[in-house]
Amino acid sequence: MFGEKVVNGTFTIFGTIKCVVPDGHKPGFVDLKVSLKPDMWSSPIKYLYYITPTVTSISPSCGPDTGFTQILVTGDDFVDLGHNMALCVFDGKIFTNATVMDENTLYCDSPPFQNSQGYSLLGSRGENGNFYSF
């Protein structure tokens, strides 16, 4: 049962039930309950309905290779799911925590630039100001 909507479930393996989440709910949390016998429901847990967020802009669009530039991300349908749950992804492989301010605004910090071997350029600067990675 999702909120007040009941759907049929199927046992797949011991301790696992598969069902299709009903549509028609507004974004937000609803109580999810399971019943193995008529009118004998489990304690509820929270299930989140959400709309896939969209990003409309980021600012600034660049920063130093040392990273740690705070980036303002604006868009629609951002949801604060709690600590370490919203993330910004850089280059498809580097994840940083995001702070959701409201449904249209979040902040994250850029990571340090990584070379082709995946090493951060946060080494020491040489005499000419260039970074040396270790």
Going from N- to C-terminal start, the domains of the chain cover 9-49, 54-109
Question: What percent of the residues of the chain are helix, what percent strand, and what percent coil, each to the nearest 5?
Answer: 0, 45, 55
Q: What is the pLDDT along the chain (134 residues), one digit of tens a residue?
A: 999 999 999 988 877 899 999 988 888 889 999 998 888 999 999 998 888 899 999 999 999 989 999 999 999 999 888 888 899 999 888 999 999 999 999 999 999 988 777 767 665 444 444 443 33
The pLDDT assigned to 127 comes to 46
The pLDDT assigned to 123 comes to 52
Burial of 91-100, coded b for 16+ CB within 10 Å and e otherwise, reads eeebeeebeb
| Verdict on whether the full-model pTM lies above 0.95 | no
Closest C-alpha to 49, from 76, 16, 81: 81
